Structure 1
């Protein structure tokens, strides 16, 4: 924007203000327009900057204001008390203590007289100069009248936000005391109505939260908590909840303090501050137990369990979720029971207990559907999709993920949308659709960064790095992996750290840096074992088996591959089993056991086709071709042609090597 355009904007496009500003500039020819505009933009009192005797802008405003009848003058002054960026007729009715229809008429009159703007239908605002003018006029009104007007307005905002929260909040808990209903309020009959209203008013709610009495600050922060978790920005949410917690503590409002601490703990977990999140949840838990609020106690046990699961403390996470489940059932709270079952399912799948995880999550899904909880249903569909992906059922994983994504978007739940985009990106990567995987991952990354979700950002950077590695872009893969690793370590997220160490080890192996690859792999393996994370341990054993063989120790490599295969079979990971069989085949072929190798490749091929893994299928076909080439060149060529076609279709890094080998075989048979 040019300095002239900016100056005109700061004058509110008011002809008199623009004329006066131009006159000041012409009177000082040495002044630069850019410097003067910057100074004008930061002026505390722009009206004084435009004074020019009887032609002052303030004087012009006086003429317009004095032309209004007394009741409209009073109405205009009240608008100067509003701290937010804009206002609608409902809030205006509360602020001015007038019926809704009359408030609308008065707003239309002020708009016609160019004293207010209408940037969107039925949204009104004062230009900065007029806002400053109106605010100065309010100083002449009695303090009690100003206080009553502001109190009516904040009561309206708090009550309507609490009404909206009833549609948005699916976590059962004892809510803060409700405020008095205003004389006029928008009808929020559905979740969509509630979401649209609070999204539109969010800037005004933040403005009032920082300009109101302690009771209203605490209640407003409580009512905004669910929306802010779903929509962000989380840094502003944390500031709001911290202010509410401090205010509640200072006013001896122990229930308000417990709610604010719990909400703040959830936001800290979402931004990856796990130690602080655990501390806050424990403080809230102690308060709820002291107050005898058993439902809130159950909710906080759940929150604390999520922190423990995220940091890899699975036994403690399971214990906390089971305590919450028992409490919900004792209270007859079926929605809370569904939440606890879903969380227990997540605790079970992480160390590889897929059958138990599926059973728990399906119980939760049935409960959510019975209760008509769309958000719970979306989260549970997403969880089931993850379990299906982990067991290699990619078609089902995609279907479930897409159902969840549609629900999240309908509900306006942005964290869920980002998480599901990331889940679908992983499925695309595992089925060799690398372009689609990258597109979905980048969409998720943008959403995570908008929300301030550092864990989501780390997960997506790691996943995008794997796509780069699988398409042979090793430098980019390393850069993305190291960014993710730094984030995980900053967050204290040990499962993510282990997973990224393993991924970086694979890149080092592919670039021939075997010693560094071994170091990274062993570090990842030790972390997985400490966490009790069996799928991660199995994959790392497999990576180490390849490394040992490439370094000349085939016997150790085969032993590690066998251990990995046993682990994959024990946890029901079909995709992992197929990968382990393929690598076992490679090692058997290298050690002069072609028949055993061919059998391993054929078994791996069947499993890869079963789980729709084109890369796994191509790997098994290429391995089989290398064995067949010794005794049946034509069979080898058929297998290799199929593998090359798959590599080319998915843009795999193995394409050039496989293509060259195929050309050599065909030339030998020509």
Structure 2
């Protein structure tokens, strides 16, 4: 009612606040029904400024005096969108026949601030009305207030709503809880205890036996309620999020206007809101209230210098206020831990880096993280990890800046150095000589597992470290990751990783170091991105730096990577010449790892030029070199190079039409690639093996190889290879 009068007067909330002296927040709370009984003098001044007629003024005052007589659930918001799967799940639980249980059903709907728990409960209560003929009841426990509703008071409200006369309501908490259970056990009623503070408040409100259904909503998990089932709400999917935003902003969403013709603008705005219902509601309301504000303008503000929460809330009670309520209820050590989680470089993390940034041991860090999960501010991620929603991370960063301004940069630098040091230690397990000293990882398998799990963190840490000028540590870390990258060719991070290290190397002013990292980048451009011209250009720069440094080994590697680029461009004669030069340089410099790679790639050029027999002889010679125990090369480099060389031998034999031998070579290649955890190369070789088996008339086992190839191709995000394997599988199945 207030909003309709304000809009009729042509005023925004800010304009009304300026004229009447009532805060924007107070006006917002009244309009959004967060305050049911505003002070009479506040209503009087609002009505005076808005020139509300007497009859409308009386209706407005009467509306604020009315209270739900029987704790009736509020109507679901008009803009409620989505949640179909969660509502179905809740409905299935609620409609379970009473005979299946003796205890009344209890469900805890949990989720972070702003995810829409109360709206969800209101929607569910409406949907379930036919299933609960003995009544639906809704009590706000005010769990985020400084003094939440005492459970005894909450029970008093509910007992009155259940029809218990005032004189028969006991005085003590335990007696009221007993009376509540006694009344509820005879009724098929639905009770919503909204916004529970903690288990201590919720436990007396648990029902006993009977057909009733009790629903708690809480930012905390309330994991101490042993009889409960849990339903966790997440941010909305992108499509539902966009739909909700447009529904709230309906008055501004002219179906013929430019915004309607630009669905990407709405989708982008929903993404800026983190797909959180509260943020969507606040942002949509702004668009509705401010006709001059466009979707495009709001998106521009989000991409500007203003903090995202500032843009969303715009001075009103919104996400920042909601998160502040949860934050201020934390103990001091948890507030400090929460603030410092904003410094984590990646989307999720374990306890170890939290221990580093908070100065406690890992066990205490894990205890704090679990407490923050229980509070609803931190998400529990599978595999014993933790994460923050984007808007919650923004809030944590805001608190860090406000409360520890002098600690932001030192803490971030300490954490970055830790991430890079730990990444270096893991990567050293893949270097030819292995780690020079003890590392936190017992073996290569453990190191690989850590690097895979923490990729989002160490990759983001590299970016931040390069931006902050930690060039020496960036170079050292990427050096350690170089050999690991050979086993994870399918990852899309390597071009960026090696670009960062090449730029850091250039800033260090050492031409040999720059040549090394330019060579890494040239490899990534050719092998990972298939940007062959760029790879040739980068390798040419690397060759220039290597010549300047007087390093023949790096000159040889630069020629090898340039040859890879020329091969991708179909310039096989040029590639052969460069590989011949590389072989000479790497042999002269006694580069143990480079020489067999030069030989193997030389054979690849010969095969591309139609000289399959020569290619086979070169690859067989490479095989003998790699399997000679007297040849001084690290075990990892020997095994990985040998596995790839086996695949090349299979290619040579296929070109010569020697299919039975080709099958044998490719079987061996698959086994060696699998043993060395090289899934991208294994997937390709499995398809090639299936093709060779078909050529020999032994295609019966080929489908199993192709199914495995499709799985690996999907894992490695290689849709072209997955499609190729699928087509061959369909062809073989049709032939069968």
Normalised by the shorter chain, which TM-score bucket? 0.5 to 0.7
What is residue 18 of structure 1 aligned with on the other side? 116
Does the CA contact (< 8 Å) of 2:420 and 2:462 recur in 1? Answer: no
Q: Say whether residues 1:272 and 2:530 are aligned partners.
A: yes
What is residue 332 of structure 2 aligned with on the other side? 70
1:85 aligned to which of 315, 324, 347: 347
1-side partners of 2:457 and 2:84: how far apart?
A: 25
Q: RMSD value over aligned CA atoms? A: 4.7
Q: Say whether residues 1:5 and 2:83 are aligned partners.
A: yes
**1:118 counterpart SS class:** strand
What is residue 400 of structure 2 aligned with on the other side? 138
1:287 aligned to which of 541, 545, 548: 545
Displacement of 1:375 in angstroms is 1.2
2-side partners of 1:152 and 1:222: how far apart?
A: 21
Distance 1:205 1:137, change over 3 A: same
1-side partners of 2:249 and 2:544: how far apart?
A: 67
Once the two structures are superposed, the pairs formed by residues 26-45 of structure 1 within 5 Å of their partners are 40-43=270-273, 45=308
Displacement of 1:292 in angstroms is 2.8
What is residue 662 of structure 2 aligned with on the other side? 397
Distance 1:308 1:83, change over 3 A: closer
2:379 aligned to which of 117, 142, 161: 117
Displacement of 1:362 in angstroms is 3.0
Displacement of 1:136 in angstroms is 1.0
What is residue 208 of structure 1 aligned with on the other side? 461
* Structure whose residues are more often helix by fraction: 1
Once the two structures are superposed, the pairs formed by residues 239-638 of structure 1 within 5 Å of their partners are 239-246=496-503, 248-249=505-506, 252=509, 254-270=511-527, 271-311=529-569, 313-369=571-627, 370=629, 371-372=634-635, 373-432=638-697
2-side partners of 1:650 and 1:6: how far apart?
A: 41
**1:154 counterpart SS class:** helix
Displacement of 1:91 in angstroms is 1.9
1:156 aligned to which of 410, 418, 436: 418
1-side partners of 2:550 and 2:309: how far apart?
A: 55
1:147 aligned to which of 409, 426, 434: 409
2-side partners of 1:316 and 1:50: how far apart?
A: 61
Does the CA contact (< 8 Å) of 1:7 and 1:37 recur in 2? Answer: no
Does the CA contact (< 8 Å) of 1:425 and 1:440 recur in 2? Answer: yes
The one-character-per-residue Cα deviations of 1:343-396 (angstroms, maximum 9, x if unpaired) are 233233444545543343233324434343321121122122222333333223
**1:412 counterpart SS class:** coil
Stretch moving more, 37-46 or 73-82? 37-46
**Stretches of structure 2 lacking an aligned partner (at least 5 in a row):** 1-79, 88-108, 123-243, 254-259, 274-301, 303-307
Aligned residues between the structures: 458
Does the CA contact (< 8 Å) of 1:274 and 1:307 recur in 2? Answer: yes
2-side partners of 1:127 and 1:48: how far apart?
A: 17
Displacement of 1:278 in angstroms is 1.4
Displacement of 1:281 in angstroms is 0.6
**Stretches of structure 1 lacking an aligned partner (at least 5 in a row):** 472-647, 653-670
2-side partners of 1:266 and 1:201: how far apart?
A: 23
Distance 1:448 1:320, change over 3 A: farther
Displacement of 1:131 in angstroms is 1.9
Q: Say whether residues 1:238 and 2:490 are aligned partners.
A: no
2-side partners of 1:240 and 1:40: how far apart?
A: 31
The one-character-per-residue Cα deviations of 1:415-446 (angstroms, maximum 9, x if unpaired) are 31133123214313433567977886797688
Displacement of 1:108 in angstroms is 3.1
Displacement of 1:16 in angstroms is 6.6
Displacement of 1:250 in angstroms is 5.5
Does the CA contact (< 8 Å) of 2:522 and 2:534 recur in 1? Answer: yes
2-side partners of 1:346 and 1:51: how far apart?
A: 62
Displacement of 1:86 in angstroms is 0.6
Displacement of 1:284 in angstroms is 0.4
